[in-house]
Amino acid sequence: MKTLHALILGATGSTGQELLKLLLEDSSFSKVSIFVRRKPSIKHQKLTIHEIDFSRLIDYKKLIDGDVLFSTFGTTLKDAGSKSQQYLVDFTYQYEFAKMASDNGISYFSLVSSSGANEKSFFFYPKIKGELEQAVKKLPFKKTQIFQPPILIRQPELIRNGEKIAIKVFSLLNKIGILKSQKPLSVSYLAKKMINHIKSEKKIGIITYKAKEIISSKL
């Protein structure tokens, strides 16, 4: 397999940080381009940083060029401030970016969605994630992989109080054999999975990995 040029949307988030670190260390990737609101301090000879205004994505379309797009973009209602702003981040910006990537001939797309994503959900967050999944499935990538992870164990400085409680609860339930398919998963493990599945050419088309599959399958 030829060396690849990877693009990351969401490189400053918890999963994106791990993904970036692993891609920079992986000889299968000769170049890594990230698209961010604020420029991070990291430097590397393989890394190109594009500091952009997501409300004007069309202005950067020519920069969205490479082999594979990883999207780990996302926010919470609390951080976004309103449902409309959360929708912009979790659906609009991600879909528009993926559409431009497809238009520009990028072959592979890897998306972090959410366990329980469903466009018909009564709840706002899984509904957005479900709508995004259905929208990107219509884009003509050679390979589209969608990950629906369980609750993620983030870096200590990024983990939220609610997530800490949920992780403890699920961990206790897992110990007595309950909800093992929703076992908390480290962002590092998820990032490794995303990269390994892109590097494998055995499967093409649209592939959705449920939480249970992500947890149980080998790296």
Residue of 127, 129, 183, 193 marked catalytic: 129
Catalytic residue list contains 108: no
Residue of 60, 95, 125, 189 marked catalytic: 125
Query: What counts of helices (H) and strands (E) characterise the chain?
Result: 8, 9
CB atoms within 10 A of CB 165: 10
Residues facing 7 on adjacent strands: 33, 69
Q: Which of 28, 34, 32, 35 is nearest to 45 (CA)?
A: 32
Catalytic residue list contains 129: yes
Q: SS3 letters for 23-51?
A: HHHCCCEEEEEEEECCCCCCCCCCEEEEE
Active site residues: 125, 129
